[in-house]
Structure 1
Amino acid sequence: MSLTVAIIGRPNVGKSTLFNRLVGKKLALVDDTPGVTRDWRAAPARLAGIDLTVIDTAGLEEAFDDSLEARMRKQTERAIEEADVALLLIDARAGVTPLDHHFAAWLRKGNTPIILLANKCEGRAGAPGLYEAFELGLGEPVPISAEHGEGLAELVEALLPYAPPEEVEPEDDDGAAGGTADGKPEPVRAIQLAIVGRPNVGKSTLLNSLVGEDRVLTGPEAGMTRDAISVEWTYKDRPIRLVDTAGIRRRARVDDKLEKLAVADALRVIRLAQVVVLVVDADAILDHQDLTIARMVLDEGRALVIAVNKWDIVTDRAGTLKQIDDKLQAQLAQVRGIPVVTMSALRKQKLDGLLDAVFNIYEVWNRRVSTADLNRWLAGMTEAHPPPAVEGRRIKIRYMTQVKARPPTFALWVSKPLDLPETYIRYMVNGLRDALDLPGVPIRMLTRKGKNPYAED
């Protein structure tokens, strides 16, 4: 069991810096601008033997209307309710502010235990604020420096009373620790599923509709999501890690520093994903930026599903589907068979069809083909259309094997690999896709020089 810890406080006191410090990775965006974090995010950590689930939250604001700040505050309230203990962070260099007093009084009324942390206590500048923190009535403050990693030993000491008891591994008949000796199957690994697209196409709404709760902020404001938010979820007994990302605009239009950081985070998520759902707006389907994102996903070797959102408002559905097919044929011809799913995230329509498409493309992306089947196929392809001749001598393809999956990657042993034309490699890829049922995923074809490495001398 892990101890769930929520980091809370007013804007710009260093919550995301502390989050990154505890989890050991730069997962949360950090900037001097207040209000960078908007959705709460969780990640595992281990601190001095204590297993933690650390939650980074948006800055607490005194807002109770329908504004973005009020919606951020509600998200933080939910995170506090889920936590075993909350870390209230103040800026010791700025001193205790009226907003700190307000939220300390509010937190004292709740049921979640509170540990008060005075951040930015490196050097002497934070000493006055550290002593002022006693005024909040939350006990002795723990001096830390999230940026420099100071005070973590004192934080561990404060967390120990709330840590769950250590679990003792059962022993088998030989006295060894039990791993899988009890006969239980190995746990199924979660599918890494990223949701990407242009701003304001419904990515966050889709995530909320899939998990059945308002897990991330939604609203009419474009560019609301900044951090990539990961959510663990299960569908039909299949574990999925859903990741909502910031909207990706054309590079020429991105000039704000925070937006650049958010887009860079979204690109990082694409590189780490296994399946990527590209959400497009039914009013502007597969425009230039949509196609740019799709190419980016395919170039990274990820499996791609295109989700056409807001399908409930489309009148000419047959014409729209033909328009999509024409654009895919013209712009993404190198990867034929990309699945396209129509849906409505807001109305929760056809979401099962989207997830079925995700599972299907994931299986294709993981598919392996036996070497014997590949070489039988290779013989037929080269007989039907032999490789071209170079300087009067025909190029010979001697052997073929699959070197990896995810995405399917194949190696050809060729007499003159540098002279094999790109058009012939495309001929091979397209034939492989059709003959071995590999639609919609990128296929990589590598050329190697030399004879069949598996042939006997």
Structure 2
Amino acid sequence: MSFVLAIVGRPNVGKSTLFNRLVGKKLALVDDQPGVTRDLREGAARLGDLRFTVMDTAGLEDANDDSLPGRMRRLTERAVGLADACLFLVDARTGITPTDEVFADILRRSGTPVILAANKAEGRAGEAGVIEAFGLGLGDPLALSAEHGEGMAELAVVLSPLIEAAEAKAEEAITDIDIEDGEEAAERTKPLQIAVIGRPNAGKSTLINKIIGEDRLLTGPEAGITRDSIAVTVDWDGTPMRIFDTAGMRKKAKVQEKLEKLSVSDGLRAVKFAEIVVVLLDAAIPFEQQDLRIADLAEREGRAVVVAVNKWDLEEHKQEKLRDMREAFERLLPQLRGAPLVTVSAKTGRGLDRLQQAIVRAYDVWNRRVPTATLNRWLAGMVEAHPPPAPSGRRIKLRYMTQAKTRPPGFVVMCSMPEKLPESYSRYLVNGLREDFDMPGTPIRLHMRSQADANPYKDRKKSIPSRLAKHVRKGATKKS
């Protein structure tokens, strides 16, 4: 069990900057305006020889109602209860504020070990704030600069005994676990990487909370609550998965603010690293232009796609609506023909079992491999049923076919004049692959190549053997 350190503090004191410093990469969004971080983000931290889990949290604000700041505060307080220790960050340049004093008292009574650190303490501008932090009663403050990496060695010295104590406690607990359980844990496969994408307020965070069985992600009626791409790990009905919650994607013309651009960019990056993409639609307004663009993006990235229609519990005429949606899906997204379309309710949890089965099946299809002999027998049948065209009176010959890759399935056909083969014939082959080898919905890449392209000596100049060249030179010398 990894030691968990939660970074807490007021908005804009540098929590996300320190988080990125500890994990060694820019995972959390950072901006000058306060309140950028809203959800809990975890990362594998490394500080010298120390290895632990660090948690970035939303800025603590003095709000107790059900407003967005109030829900953010409750999520941060939950992180404090889950963590092995808290790093309470204050701004050395601003000094100690009344809000800092309130939350210092809350942390003091939480029972979780607290490390006090004054960030932005580089130079003389932060000296007064560091001295002022002594008055919080949380021990000697560490002077840090998350942006410039100052004070990291001192932080490691303070963390080391806490991590050692937590590891010793974990080893005692492990001795009570059956050895067979440990063997089963070692046999678990690598978790599936799943990205949930869609328009704002489609219910992505609510869906993931229902899957993991706890309020891990911030939700609410406001559109655009999620900003970072937050990853949560869950064992869903025996299948380990890592699910990424992403920011809602609006039309490009409507995205004007820098922060929203960063959020959308973070979501696109999650799609590129995912294996399965769940495109979440709103049952009230499915298949709008933005939904189609998002689904097409996932297909172009080569990800396995599952379309989920949320808020199905609010729909009155379910059968008629489902029939219309299937017809619209086939018509508007022909490139995803056969992809699973699942109706769910993130609020009640209905349909989640079907969604899990659709994700597992889409992953299996995405990894499918077809034997070369089977492919070539299939290709001969397809050519016999519908021969390729004959431009300028010369028939294009499809000689050989093989599968070059999976994830997504990619095939290479060796043929004559590949540049003259029309796109319609390639679609004919792709549709045949989908139907005959049971690969519905997954992106299929089909490449046409001539045998000349595969010849490594195609562009190499012909050379005369060395002995023959020597005789040629001697003969030329005698003639001269």
**How does the TM-score come out when normalised to structure 1?**
0.93
Distance 1:184 1:78 in 2: 27
After superposition, residues 7-156 of structure 1 pair within 5 angstroms as 7-156=7-156
Segment drifting more, 157-166 vs 330-339: 157-166
**Distance of 2:287 and 2:184 partners within structure 1:** 49
Query: CA, structure 1 residues 315+389, in 2 after alignment: closer, same or farther (shift >3 Å)?
Result: same
Distance 2:259 2:424 in 1: 42
Answer whether contact 1:413 1:448 (CA < 8 A) is retained.
Answer: yes
Give the corresponding residue for 2:221: 220
2:83 and 2:65 map into 1 onto residues whose CA distance is 25
Rate the CA distance shift 1:243–1:183 in 2: closer, same or farther, 3 A: closer
Give the SS at the match of 1:194: strand
| Greater fraction of residues in helix | 2
Letter in 1 for 2:446: M
Q: RMSD of aligned C-alpha atoms? A: 1.8
Deviates more, 1:391-400 or 1:111-120: 391-400
SS in 1 for 2:306: strand
Report Cα offsets for 1:140-189 as digits up to 9, x if no partner. Answer: 1111111112211111111011113779xxxxxxxxxxxxxx89864301
**Structure 1 range deviating more: 83-92 or 252-261:** 252-261
Counterpart Cα distance in 1 of 2:344 and 2:239: 21
Once residues 413 and 18 of structure 1 are traced to their aligned partners in structure 2, the CA distance between those partners, rounded to angstroms, is 54
Looking at structure 2, the residues matched to 10 and 214 of structure 1 have their Cα atoms a distance apart, in angstroms, of 22
- Whichever of the two has the greater Rg, that structure is 2
> How much has 1:318 moved relative to structure 2?
2.4
Is the partner of 2:220 in helix, strand or coil? Answer: coil
CA distance in 1, matches of 2:290, 2:132: 51
Quote the residue 2:209 is aligned against.
208
- Per the TM alignment, residue 392 of structure 1 is displaced from its structure 2 partner at its CA by 2.5
- Single out whichever of 377-386 and 71-80 deviates more from structure 2: 377-386
Query: Is 86-95 or 324-333 further displaced after alignment?
Result: 324-333
How far apart, CA to CA, are the structure 2 residues paired with 1:68 and 1:121?
31
Partner of residue 179, structure 1: none
Q: CA deviation at 1:46?
A: 2.1
Query: Aligned partners of 2:164, 2:447: CA distance in 1, in Å?
Result: 51
> Which residue matches 1:176?
none
Matched letter for residue 270 of structure 2: V
Are 1:259 and 2:260 matched, yes or no? yes
Percent identity (aligned): 56
The residue number in structure 2 matching 1:187 is 188
2:164 alignment partner, SS class: coil
Residues 261 and 409 (structure 1 numbering): CA distance in 2 closer, same or farther, change over 3 Å?
same
Measured in 2, the distance between the counterparts of 1:25 and 1:155 equals: 19
Cross-structure match for 1:159? 159
Cα shift at 1:103: 1.1
Matches within 5 A, 1:315-326: 315-326=316-327
Residues 193, 243 of structure 1: 8 Å contact kept: yes
Partner Cα distance (2:22, 2:161) in 1: 18
Q: Is the 8 A contact 2:122 2:144 kept in 1?
A: yes
Name which of structure 1's ranges 289-298 and 330-339 shifts more when overlaid on structure 2: 330-339
Secondary structure at 2:334's aligned position in 1?
Answer: coil
In structure 2, give the amino acid aligned to 1:149: G
Sort the Cα spacing of 1:246 and 1:419 in 2 relative to 1 into closer, same or farther, 3 A: same
- Larger mean Cα displacement after TM superposition, 287-296 or 306-315: 306-315
Q: SS where residue 126 of structure 1 aligns?
A: helix
Question: Are the equivalent residues in 2 in contact too, given 1:398–1:451 (CA < 8 A)?
Answer: no
Question: What SS does structure 2 have at the residue aligned with 1:394?
Answer: coil
In structure 2, how many angstroms separate the alpha carbons of the residues matched to 1:86 and 1:349? 37
Runs of 4+ in 1 over 6 A off after TM superposition: 451-454
Q: Alpha-carbon deviation of 1:94?
A: 1.2
Number of the residue aligned with 2:5: 5
1:257-406 to structure 2, matched below 5 A, reads: 257-406=258-407
Letter in 2 for 1:315: E
The separation in 1 between residues aligned to 2:37 and 2:335, in whole angstroms, is 38
Q: Look up the equivalent residue of 1:369 and give its one-letter code.
A: V
Change (3 A) 1:184 1:274: closer
- What CA deviation, in whole Å up to 9, does each residue of 1:401-443 have, x standing for no partner? 1111111111111222222211111111001111111001110
Secondary structure at 1:20's aligned position in 2? helix
User: Which residue identity does 1:154 align to in structure 2?
Assistant: E
1:101-123 superposed Cα distances (whole Å, 9 cap, x missing partner): 12112211111111111111222
Partner of 1:233: 234
Give the match's secondary structure for 1:391: helix
Secondary structure of the structure 2 residue equivalent to 1:34: coil
Amino acid across the alignment from 1:46: R
Structure 2 residues without counterparts, runs of 5 or longer? 169-182, 456-480
Deviations 1:225-250 (A, max 9, x none): 11111111001221111111111111
Distance 2:242 2:272 in 1: 14
Q: Distance in 1 between matches of 2:312 and 2:384?
A: 47
Could you tell me which amino acid in structure 1 is paired with residue 352 of structure 2? L
Report the Cα distance in structure 1 between the residues aligned to 2:112 and 2:184, rounded to whole angstroms: 39
Q: Give the SS at the match of 1:280.
A: strand
Question: CA shift at 1:128, angstroms?
Answer: 1.5
Cα deviation digits, residues 308-332 of structure 1 (max 9, x gap): 1111221222221222122222221
Q: Distance in 2 between matches of 1:309 and 1:183?
A: 35
Using the alignment, how far apart are the partners of 1:45 and 1:374 within structure 2? 47
Question: 2: distance between equivalents of 1:328 and 1:29?
Answer: 35
Residue identity matched to 1:231: V
TM-fit CA distance, 1:217: 1.2
AA of the residue aligned to 2:23 = V
Instruction: Tell me if the contact between 1:399 and 1:452 (Cα under 8 Å) persists in the aligned partners.
Output: no
The one-letter amino acid of 2:89's match is L
8 Å CA contact 1:413–1:451 kept in 2: the answer is no
**Contact 1:304/1:441 (8 A) holds in 2:** yes
- Which amino acid letter does the alignment assign opposite residue 61 of structure 1? E
Are the aligned partners of 1:2 and 1:164 in contact in 2 as well (CA < 8 Å)?
no
Q: Distance in 2 between matches of 1:448 and 1:241?
A: 38
